[in-house]
Chain A
């Protein structure tokens, strides 16, 4: 106990991150979400993992949720913030329904709302620590967009968060096309998710694929992907170079 350092105790009494300048740390985080447009609507894929630092702590977390009748939201980043965003959206959809005027919020509107929320929080130095993928179909119009924790937002034919940007999007750039069938789309997303499983440390082998069309939202049951390890170079990696890896 030092009598000299009187400035010190006050700071330590306040505890972590409690000064007026905020910007939190993420604690429980989800990894990539990948979304593509296809013939009938949007397909989105994510795994069911939520990490706590380097520990793969939770393996049954649904990171994609339907929003209203016409949209599907996928999120990576801090799960508590995603849960809070879902509360906000519940309220938004509720008020929209209460108008009872025959109109309902489409994916474009929900994406715009989310953009405003994320950007305004960023301006207050208190972000929702998430990257969001918002997809949907309304009146035959397909929509796929993304919003990041700092409010960067755009639409595209295929989007991804986190590692997905680096690993999945190059595959999609080569192999995606406008008129993919459901089966083609699922196979393509599975290819992306497999690469993410190989190369993303935070990935877990329990994925879901969600589909949204004019008819509505379906989120698949959780399932695991097969992986391939039988390369000769894998079985004998140090042949001709003992000690290497």
Chain B
């Protein structure tokens, strides 16, 4: 099959942002594709804007990167001028301005999440078109289609930090199971008054779903045979 090396890098993606009692948990898969080829199987789609605000990126890799670069730059200046950390609301509104004013050229959906001392943990969804919408939880990317029903059922207000992170990991993993454009590892970022924690859940640590099998070393099932390792080049 012809690989179109010139196809735009698109992050098929599943991205999630969830508020809990004390902060937010952001989650994403790690697959970046050019057409059908997986250009990066371990991307980091949760990008820092400030110490206390992060953004989950979906859609065009280039568009989402440039938007977050600009917003990081503006927020840096804003923080200096303000003399204290920027609020999540300000960060989200800066993202919205770029997304809205360039709506004809950009193809990126973003979820801004963070913690500030005024409002606590907040999540803002900014879909295509540049609408800004504050939500208790947000889902985005191509994989999110498979999660509307899941969240309708599984979401509840006032979860603990661990419950929220487990929900995010389960959800991204379910989306990866069904969305060809999502895959790889699940990355989470937890933001609260105490700071920021990054977590990493490799593919083989995720739960198995319908029709998926437990990976084994070999058909020959020799327990002592080596697992997959980096090549010696």
Contacts and interface: CB of A to CB of B under 8 A. Distances in A.
B1 to A, nearest CB: 15
Main secondary structure of the interface of A (DSSP, over half): mixed
Given A1-B5, A1-B6, A55-B148, A83 B104 contact: no
Contact of A27 (B4, B5, B128): B128
B129 A26 contact: yes
Contacts of A15: 105, 107
Nearest to A52: B127
Interface centre among B127, B129, B133 (most CB of A within 10 A): B129
Max chain A Cβ within 10 angstroms of own Cβ: one of B6, B96, B107, B133: B133
Interface in A36-89: 50, 52, 55, 57-58, 60-61, 78-80, 83-84
Contacts of A16: 104-105, 107
Contact of A80 (B5, B103, B107): B103
A199 interface: no
Interface in B96-151: 96, 100, 103-105, 107, 127-133, 135, 145, 148
Nearest to B136: A60
B107 A27 contact: no
B148 to A, nearest CB: 7
A84 B107 contact: no
A24 interface: yes
Contacts of A79: 129, 131, 133
Interface of A: 1, 9, 14-18, 22, 24, 26-28, 50, 52, 55, 57-58, 60-61, 78-80, 83-84
15 contacts: A1-B5, A9-B6, A15-B107, A16-B107, A17-B104, A27-B128, A27-B129, A27-B131, A28-B131, A52-B127, A58-B133, A79-B131, A80-B100, A80-B131, A83-B132
